[in-house]
Amino acid sequence: MSKGDPLSSASAASEPSAITEAFFTHGNYSMQFEEAPESEPFLASTPRPLAASQQPPNVPGVVPEHRHINASVRVPMEDPHIPYETLEDGKFLSRSMLVNSGGEDLYRFLVQRSVIQPKIVIKFKGTRSAVRGFTKKKTKDGTVESTPNTYTVYDFDYEMDCTKYLCSTPDGFNVLPDRKTGEVKSVQQLCDDYVRDPHRIKELQLTKVVEWDTALVQRALTKAIRRYGYSHSLDIEVETRENKVLVKPGSWIAKAVDNPVAVWFCYITFLWIITWPLLFYYRRQYGHGGTLQSIWRMNISERGWCEENMDDILGQIPLAALDNHSEENTEQSYPDDNTVFE
């Protein structure tokens, strides 16, 4: 990406400050945060406000006039219901004629769907290798080789639903600059452009973005679990689900493009060599790549969430999987504060 690209500057401005320690103090185990510069605070000691203020929220890398507050949009109660379907991956899709023929109807539909909360979950998985017997094989020179039979043990594999910590309403829309031209359009302009586009294969996408430092949460949880005594393979992943709203035409060719049977037919008959480049060239996309967003915030800080849920997280780790576990010690204990910082 070029230096003059507005997106590169926006993303660089929104990157969290470097944190080398991600520990909190809670119960009998400890974590601490490195002090961040006063000009660059990354964690608030108190939860952020639940409701959006009258002025557009300050988003790093996005000037205030690029954000459109939902509170200023009034959707009449008599608006007709616009049909939509929920796909297997949690996306909302509408092919209704209403949203494909009128920019105002499309805009109202986006407003209506943008206020539906997405889901945010944290997935935890801890695995280790174990040996179950040996396989003996006699070589040509008469020696016997023993190969261990290894298998994977899942110490824990679960997810925590964090949706209850989301604010009840979004802050509003956020439109990022166009990647090619750098132009910033309003949501209504994007809707009008989509409706006026004569292409039969086109789509508009709204992405619900949760403003939460998930990388910081992952680092904090990883370090706490390591200090607790679990040194095996650990995977912590934060996912946002049901966070996309799609609008596509209802024509047969637009439906055929998304039909899995047609996709597999093109794949096994090698027609994809012709069809996929054509689709790439003729498909028109609006709001993709996260350029059209609905901004959501958490009503709890990253530190507050970890402090509130750390007991439950560490309690999911089996005692037998801990490095300091012995047959005589059958009680779960947290690291002593005096040894955490050594």
Virtual torsion, Cα 208, 209, 215, 217, nearest 10 deg: -80
H or E segment to which residue 110 belongs: helix 103-114
- Tell me if 161 is assigned to some domain: no
Q: CB-hemisphere CA count at 13 Å for 111?
A: 21
State the pLDDT confidence band at 16, using cuts at 50, 70 and 90. Answer: very low
pLDDT at 5 over 50: no
179/254 Cα distance (integer angstroms): 25
- Tell me if 33 is assigned to some domain: yes
pTM across the whole model: 0.69
Q: What is the pLDDT of residue 324?
A: 67
- Tell me if 85 is assigned to some domain: yes
Residue 193 is encoded by which pair of tokens?
């452009």
Q: Please state the domain count of the chain.
A: 1
Three-state SS at 119: strand
Going edge to edge, which strands form the sheet with 233-241?
Answer: 144-161, 119-138, 233-241
pLDDT in tens, 107-146: 999 999 999 999 999 999 999 888 888 777 877 777 878 7
pLDDT at 79 over 70: no
pLDDT in tens, 46-73: 334 444 433 444 443 344 444 444 433 4
Amino acid at residue number 5: D
Rg over CA atoms, the chain: 26
- Evaluated on CA atoms 91, 95, 101, 102, the torsion sign reads negative
pLDDT in tens, 287-332: 888 889 999 999 999 999 999 999 999 999 998 888 865 444 434 4
Under 8 Å between Cβ of 253 and 262: no
**What range does the domain containing 28 cover?**
6-120+166-213+240-307
- Tell me if 25 is assigned to some domain: yes
Picking from 58, 52, 49, the residue whose alpha carbon sits closest to that of residue 299 is 49
End-to-end CA distance of the chain: 43
Burial-class residue 79 by CB neighbours within 10 Å (0-12, 13-18, 19+). middle
- Tell me if 328 is assigned to some domain: no
Q: Please give the backbone phi and psi of residue 261, each rounded to the nearest 5 degrees, phi first.
A: -65, -45
- Tell me if 191 is assigned to some domain: yes
pLDDT in tens, 138-171: 777 778 787 888 889 999 999 999 999 999 999 9
pLDDT at 226 over 70: yes
* Residues sharing a CB contact under 8 Å with residue 70, sequence separation 6 or more, in sequence order: 52, 111, 114, 115, 169, 170, 171, 172, 173, 294
- Tell me if 218 is assigned to some domain: no
Q: What is the pLDDT of residue 315?
A: 92
Picking from 164, 166, 172, 148, the residue whose alpha carbon sits closest to that of residue 68 is 172
Average per-residue pLDDT for the chain = 76
- Tell me if 129 is assigned to some domain: no
